[in-house]
Amino acid sequence: MNEFKKTFTHKGISGIVFDLDGTLINTYATMLEVQKENSEAIVKYLKEKHDYDINIEKFFSIYNQAEIEQYKAGNVSSILRFPNVVKRIFESLDIFLNPTELVDIFLPAVARLYNMTPEPFEGALETLHRFRFTKIVICTHSGREWAILKTDYLNRLYEEKYNEHLKFDLHYIPLDEPKDAPDWIIAYQIINEDPQNLIAVGDSFNSDILPAAEAKYKNLVWITKDGKDREQDLNELQKLGHNTLIIDHIKNLNHTTLSQLFLDT
């Protein structure tokens, strides 16, 4: 019996629910790749068609910042937020064109993101392998087709590395809907387990940690480099009886760190 299994048995843990994007796979790196290629194409178009001479680095910086702002505002679909992103770029660079022109031309290039398969973070496959003895659910805000594409790729890499199939259940949330507590409830209902006996792992406080807490998960693992910014929120979670562990990378979800999650239980 490995160390993880011993800990799970001793603490009565019967499964683990992972977020996908930003937790197990580096979706942001793939988004950056698309943004850079789109920036080059749009800057070239604006120069050739409208004689706008724009610095590519500046354009990309504004593009990226606009994407982040829209994402934080709850607009998680690159397709749906692209019109607002273009408006933000035009305002910042004093481009006096109808934004619809660029949206119509470059939206297919934006949409290709959803045919791409982001790479897993360093240590993600190893982490999944450590938990192969228990029930695993992936709860992802990806939409059906993209969720299946990404998890199939993840499993293919896992099989190549470990010569075995990774067993997990999948719950996906459409990109035009919020990821909130009911989705984390569905995740534990899929495996018919009590959330008090599960661990929820995610990188977003508002989409993963907070809704998982609201869904009565007792054990929370937050992957973030900005934990201090949420110190008050974390204190509140602990007062409500939630065990919360902060780590900065999925590769650091090991037996030593996991043991810290149960120090007070």
> pLDDT tens across 106-122, in order?
999 999 999 999 999 99
Strand pairing of 219-223 and 198-202?
A: parallel
> pLDDT tens across 156-186, in order?
999 999 999 999 999 999 998 999 999 999 9
Query: What 3-state class would DSSP assign to 163?
Result: coil
> pLDDT tens across 6-43, in order?
889 989 999 999 999 999 999 999 999 999 999 999 99
* pLDDT at site 106: 97
Rounded average pLDDT over 125-144: 96
**Rounded CA separation 227/245 (Å):** 10
Rounded average pLDDT over 72-87: 92
Q: Token pair for residue 90?
A: 């035009």
Neighbours of 63 (CB within 10 A): 21
Rounded average pLDDT over 81-88: 96
| Half-sphere exposure for 134 (CA within 13 Å, toward CB) | 26
> pLDDT tens across 185-214, in order?
999 999 999 999 999 999 999 899 999 999
pLDDT band of residue 239 (cuts 50, 70, 90) is confident
* pLDDT at site 5: 87
* pLDDT at site 229: 59
Q: What are phi and psi of 224, to 5 degrees?
A: -160, 155
pTM, 2 dp = 0.93
> pLDDT tens across 240-265, in order?
889 999 999 999 999 889 888 876 55
Query: What 3-state class would DSSP assign to 248?
Result: coil
Query: What 3-state class would DSSP assign to 217?
Result: coil
> Among 69-73, 85-89, 234-238, whose mean pLDDT is lowest?
234-238
Tracing tokens 């619809």 back to the chain, one arrives at 100
